[in-house]
Structure 1
Amino acid sequence: MTPEARVQAAIDILDQINDGDPAERALTNWSRRSRYAGSKDRAAIRDLVFSALRKWRSTAALGGAETGRGRMIGLLRQDGVALETVFTGNRFAPDPLRAEELEGGTQPSDAAAMDLPDWVWEKFKSDLGDRAADAAQVLRDRAPVTLRVNTLKGDVSAAQSRLLSEGIVTRANPKSATALTVEEGQRKVAQSDAYQSGLVELQDASSQAIVDALPDRQPQNILDYCAGGGGKSLALAARFPDARITAHDAFSQRMKDIPARASRAGATVKIANKAEGWFDLVFCDVPCSGSGTWRRAPEAKWRFSPDDLQDLVETQAEILRIASELVSEGGLLAYATCSILDDENTKQIDRFLADNPQWHVVKSEFYLPDTDGDGFFVTILTRD
């Protein structure tokens, strides 16, 4: 496909998304209809679509229309592309620009310039202060591809050497001693021997850092209470190789891949559909807005509402209450989110402490999204 044809394909897919289709479904449906498209074409079109999703409001303003065409015009304008070289009307290319499109759209301002819903931008400003604009701008760009070196299988140096031999260039990531940022060969990772053998896992650096933040004491019995696909369970297994790791999730189907992932990683993780007993460490990476990771799932920020936030806050509070009752005497409770909103982070902890004065904070860490990692929050608590 020509670059112009890729733009037209992105326009068509964005129109489907605008009509209410989830992005992944729209992309899949297009792929099924377009068997002629090669892997590079699909990757390039996906990048265009997700760039427009991250910049949904600003591209519409600059393109003068809330359509796939308008947003692609706006995106290309932002990127400094000469529009007349793309909108040629040639075979498979978008139609030539109309007079009103040539005149240009409007310069976005305030929340539109930040590519956030109005109410979320107000939350960013109140919660983050002078850091709000930087955080919002980072969420408008692609996230880095980051790996966790599985120390059950090897060290960082060995992982970098093996990845390099497969054409994957990495650099050390400052957020975690086990984190490597992929600088070249990102699309090769999943098929690489380093990944297939369990030496490395795909995991954001801030996500690794919140496991690093746990105290150096050696817990013997660990519960990953909101385990999901098991990324934190595997990181905990590597951080505490002598501990017994139990994974639990309210929706057990989410954990279906953990046994295979644990086997590949050389870890032992017990699956528990019901969390019971006592644990030296209960780790709760709770359901949240995902606001620190919105560049990875940009649709989420456009579908997120104040009511959604309130529902999440209540769910998080209930998880904290239940999880705290599973912590043994002298044990630790870790509460984590991939959110950068105070309601889900410090305010949630303050609420828990007000209701449970026997608990106190051991340590807190907060990471804003940046070029090295996503936004994450963790607080580690213990009882008096």
Structure 2
Amino acid sequence: MTPAARLSAAIGILDRILGGTPAEQALTNWGRASRFAGSGDRAAVRDLVFDALRCRRSFARAGGAETGRGLVLGGLRMAGQEVGDLFTGEGHAPAPPAGSELKPQAPAELEALDCPDWLAPALRDSLGADFAPVMEALRHRAPVFLRVNLARTDRAAAAAELAAEGIVTQPHPLAETALEVTENPRRLQASAAYREGRVELQDAASQAIVAALPLAPGDRVLDYCAGGGGKSLAMAARAPIDLSAHDADPRRMRDLPERAARAGVKVRRLAPGDPARRGPFDLVLADVPCSGSGSWRRAPEGKWSLTPERLAELRAIQSTILDEVAPLVRPGGHLAYATCSLLASENAGQTEAFLERTSGWTRVHQLRLTPLDGGDGFFLDLLQRNG
């Protein structure tokens, strides 16, 4: 595909996304219908689409419309590229700009930061002086991070093995297990280190959350909102623990047995209502459903689909989960409350409310991370049940 044809493909995909089709589904449908597109074409089109979604407001303003054409056109202009060389209308190229597209406007403050108007006050309150730098960071692609499986290797050995396959990495300070991929990330899944469970894709901030958890050999641990099980695998690699993973939707954990086997660790899956989830546990990790505002670089659709009503619903779910898991912790044990949110109302606001309505608990550690630290935005409050 020519560069102009890739733009046309991205425009069509973005129009479907703006019409309500999830991004991954729109990309998959295009890929199936476009057998002529090689792997390089697919990667380039995907990058165009996700860059536009991260910067939807600013690109739309610079492109003259919140359409697929407007977003792609605005993206080129924001990058300082000459649009006339690509929007020619020749062959598979997009038609030349017309109408409002000929009169681009400079984005205003919140548009330039690609921040939803309604969320700006809460984000300013939560982030303080970091508001603008964090929102700017969320406009750009996230780094690719690997978690080194310490049950199978160490960071230096993993880096050397990856380098031998042309995958260049560097240690990241957020966690002793974290490697940032700086060259050839698309070779990862074919690498021996990945296929044989010595490294796993996981954000560095997520790894830092696991590193902050108190884990001792033999501890009985419950990952209550396990999702795909990334933190379960990271905990199992840290210490020989009796680990159970639970999720309200067990289908999210369907790949966990295969991933655990590849990593050489044991994780027990628990369905909702399984008597084994009753405890008591030495540690319960509740990485609760949240706005995902800390990971908008990776999932930019969430920035635009979040509503005040959905945020209120999520806060109610978070509060309910805290009340559900607290009785599962043994006296002297720990409850770890985590989110990938930047909003104080989902973070310390929730644990402070929990401590006010529930006696017998003490906060022993708190960790707040934003994209300025290198990884995603994450929050951890570690609470201890009085013995």
Once the two structures are superposed, residues 56-108 of structure 1 have per-residue CA deviations (whole angstroms, 9 ceiling, x without a partner) of 11101011111111111110011111111111222111112336534x31111
Matches within 5 A, 1:74-223: 74-98=74-98, 100-102=100-102, 104-215=103-214, 217-218=216-217, 220-223=219-222
* 8 A contact 1:144–1:373 mirrored in 2: yes
* 8 A contact 1:159–1:200 mirrored in 2: yes
* Counterpart residue type for residue 267 of structure 1: V
Q: Distance in 1 between matches of 2:365 and 2:51?
A: 36
Once the two structures are superposed, residues 217-244 of structure 1 have per-residue CA deviations (whole angstroms, 9 ceiling, x without a partner) of 556111111111110111111112x211
Q: Distance in 1 between matches of 2:242 and 2:19?
A: 48
Gaps of 5+ in 1: none
* 8 A contact 1:181–1:372 mirrored in 2: no
TM-score, reference length from structure 2: 0.96
Matches within 5 A, 1:53-68: 53-68=53-68
Structure 1 residues 282 and 249, CA gap change in structure 2 (3 angstroms): same
Q: Distance in 1 between matches of 2:202 and 2:312?
A: 28
Secondary structure (helix, strand or coil) at the match of 1:370 reads: helix
Once the two structures are superposed, residues 6-50 of structure 1 have per-residue CA deviations (whole angstroms, 9 ceiling, x without a partner) of 011111111111222111121122112211111100100000010
* 8 A contact 2:236–2:266 mirrored in 1: yes
Counterpart in the other structure of 2:264? 266
Q: Distance in 2 between matches of 1:227 and 1:99?
A: 50
How much identity, in percent, do the aligned residues show? Answer: 52
1:299 aligns with 2:297: no
Counterpart in the other structure of 2:347? 345
Q: Distance in 2 between matches of 1:269 and 1:27?
A: 33
* 8 A contact 2:216–2:241 mirrored in 1: no
Structure 1 residues 230 and 216, CA gap change in structure 2 (3 angstroms): closer
Secondary structure (helix, strand or coil) at the match of 1:340 reads: coil
* Counterpart residue type for residue 241 of structure 2: A
Secondary structure (helix, strand or coil) at the match of 1:331 reads: strand
Counterpart in the other structure of 2:47? 47
Matched residues, number: 382
* Counterpart residue type for residue 51 of structure 1: D
Once the two structures are superposed, residues 107-163 of structure 1 have per-residue CA deviations (whole angstroms, 9 ceiling, x without a partner) of 111321211211112211121111111111111100111000000001011100111
* 8 A contact 2:329–2:385 mirrored in 1: no
Q: Distance in 2 between matches of 1:211 and 1:23?
A: 29
Matches within 5 A, 1:233-272: 233-240=232-239, 242-272=240-270
1:271 Cα offset (Å): 1.1
* 8 A contact 1:143–1:371 mirrored in 2: no
Higher alpha-carbon deviation: 365-374 or 165-174: 365-374
Secondary structure (helix, strand or coil) at the match of 1:96 reads: coil
Q: Distance in 2 between matches of 1:310 and 1:98?
A: 42
* 8 A contact 1:219–1:280 mirrored in 2: no
Counterpart in the other structure of 2:21? 21
TM-score, reference length from structure 1: 0.97
* Counterpart residue type for residue 180 of structure 2: T
Structure 1 residues 127 and 227, CA gap change in structure 2 (3 angstroms): same
Gaps of 5+ in 2: none
Q: Distance in 2 between matches of 1:182 and 1:76?
A: 26
Counterpart in the other structure of 2:356? 354
